[in-house]
Chains A and B, each alone.
Chain A
Amino acid sequence: MTLTPNRTDLPTPGLRSGTESVPAYEGATPQTGKDFTSDQEVRWCPGCGDYAVLKAVQSFLPDLGLRRENIVFVSGIGCSSRFPYYLDTYGMHSIHGRAPSIATGIATAREDLSVWVVTGDGDALSIGGNHLIHALRRNVNMTILLFNNRIYGLTKGQYSPTSEAGKVTKSTPMGSVDHPFNPVSLALGAEASFVARTIDSDRKHLTEVLAAAAAHRGTSLVEIYQNCPIFNDGAFDAIKDRDTKADAIIPLVHGEPITFGVPTEDGRATKGVAHDPATGGVRVVEVGDGPGQVGEGDLLVHDAHNPDPSVAFAISRLTDAGYLHTSPIGIFRQVERETYDDQARAQLATAGATSDADPSERLGALITGADTWTVV
C-alpha cells in the first residue's frame, strides 16, 4: 500500500516557501540524481534503511530546482550522519548532537542556502536534545531528517532514547528501565511549525513528505522510521509487513477523516480515529453503525494547519511506546510562524546593514563615541 499524498500541503497557499530565497537552477540540461551523488563509496551495512533514504533524497533533490552549490547538508554523529559525504553538495559532518546549532548559524548567516540536517535518534534526542528543541521553537528555516531506528548503531547496539522500555541490549542485559521519547510528541511540545513522520521503505510517501518539508519556511522535522538490520532488525515489521500494515499505519491526510485498517469489500474504512470524550484526547475506533462503533461522519478530520497543536499531539500519542503495532504516518502539523533567521536578517536590514554608507566612516564614528578629548 502506498499512502495517499498530502496534496493540500504542496505547497500551502499563502505561505512563503522554504526555498524561495535560494537561487534556482537554470542550467541547460536538467539536473539528475547523479548530479547530487558524490564520488565517495557508501559504507553502511547491507540492508540498512539509510540506503533507501539516501536514494530517495538523491532522486528528490533535482526536483527542488535549486542550484546544487546553494544546498548544505549538516549532520552530527552516528550511522545516518555519514549522509552528507554521499551527496555532492556543500556539507559538514560535525560533532555529536550539535548539527542543529551549526545549521542555525548557516541558515541565519545565509538566506540563499537550502539547509538540511541529517540526524538520528541518539544524535538528535539524547546528546543533542537541547539543540533540537531550541531549533524547533526558534523556527530556523531548515529541514531536519531524524532517522529513527530506535537503537544505537555506530556504538554497536546500546538502547536509544526511542527504544522501548524493557529492551535487552548490550548495556541493558536485564532490560532497559528508560521510558522512551516519542519524537513527534516532543517536536509538537517544542512548538515546531512542521512535524511529519514517514518510513524508509515507502519511497513515494518519503519523497512527498520531503517535498512538503522543503517547501515549508521554518524548521521542518521529519521523523523517518528506519530499520537497522544489525542491531534492531524488525523494529518496524508491523508497519512494513504486507499482512499487518493496513492495521498498523494510521495515514494522516489534511482535510480528510482519519481512517485505516483493512477496508470492507465495498471499500469502506474499518478503523478510524475519533475524539475521546473520556480523556479529552483521541482514540482508535471501529467504523460502522453497530454497538460501540463510530459512524464515518463522527471521525476526526485531520487539520494539519490547526493553530492549536493539542489535537496533533493527541494523534501523536496513538504511537506505541513499546514494540510498534500502530503508528500515525504523515504530516501532523504545518503552520505558519515567523522564522528566526528571517527576523534576525530583517533587524540587520532595519539597522542599516544593507545601506550604502561607507563602513570605514561609520566605524570611525562608532569607536570615537561622544566623549572625547584631544591632545595636541
Chain B
Amino acid sequence: MDWTALGLSLRLAAWTVAILLPVSILVGRLLAYRRFRGKGLVEALVMLPLVLPPTVFGFYLLVSFGRDSPVGQLWQGLFGSQLVFSFEGLVLASIVFNLPFAIQPAQRGFEAIPVEVREAAACCGMSPLRSLWKVELPLAWPGVMTAMVLTFAHTLGEFGIVLMVGGSIPGETKTIAIAIYDRVQAFDDRSAATMSAVLVAISLATIATTLWLSSRIGRRLG
C-alpha cells in the first residue's frame, strides 16, 4: 500500500475541486441564464475533454506547458519552477480535464431554477450576488455538489494524462492510479490489489455521500 501516492491523489483532487468550485458556479450560471454569440462553441469546448482521448490532451499539454512554451516560460519566470512533471502541472491538467464534470451538472442545476423565482428576487431588490447566495445556490446546490463530487472522483481515477505529463515521481506526480500500474508491472499483485480495493471503497463512499446528501436536500426543499 502506497500511502504517499494515495495522499497525493487526494491532495490533487482537493485542489482541483477547490479551484473548480467558483468556476463551476460562475460559468454554469452564465451558460444557464445567458444567450450570447458563440455560446454553442463555449459549451462544445467545455464538453471536449469528455470525448478527447487523454493522450491527445496529454500531448497538447506537454507541448503547450513545456519549458520552451510561452506558458511554461511565464510559469518559470513567476515561480522559478517548471510546470510539466510537477504537482502544479498535474493540478492544471486536472482542472482542464475536469471542466465538463464541474460545469455541466452545475449548469443543469441553475437551469432548473424557474425564471420567475429569479425575477422575484430581483424585484425584491436583491443584488445579483445576494440573489446568488440567498436564492439560487440553495436551489442549484444539488447540481453544484454533484459537479464537485464527480470532479473529485474523476481526478482520483485520472490516469492517461498523469502518465503523459507526470513522469511517475514519488510524492510529486505518482498518483494512486499510477502506483497501481507500477505495482502490476513489478509483479506486486498484492499491493496492486490493496490499492485498487481502497480506490473502489473511496469512490463508492464519495458517490454514496452525494446521493444521500442530494436526496436529503431534495426532501427539505420539496
A binds B: no
Q: Which residues of B are interface residues toward A (Cβ below 8 A)?
A: none
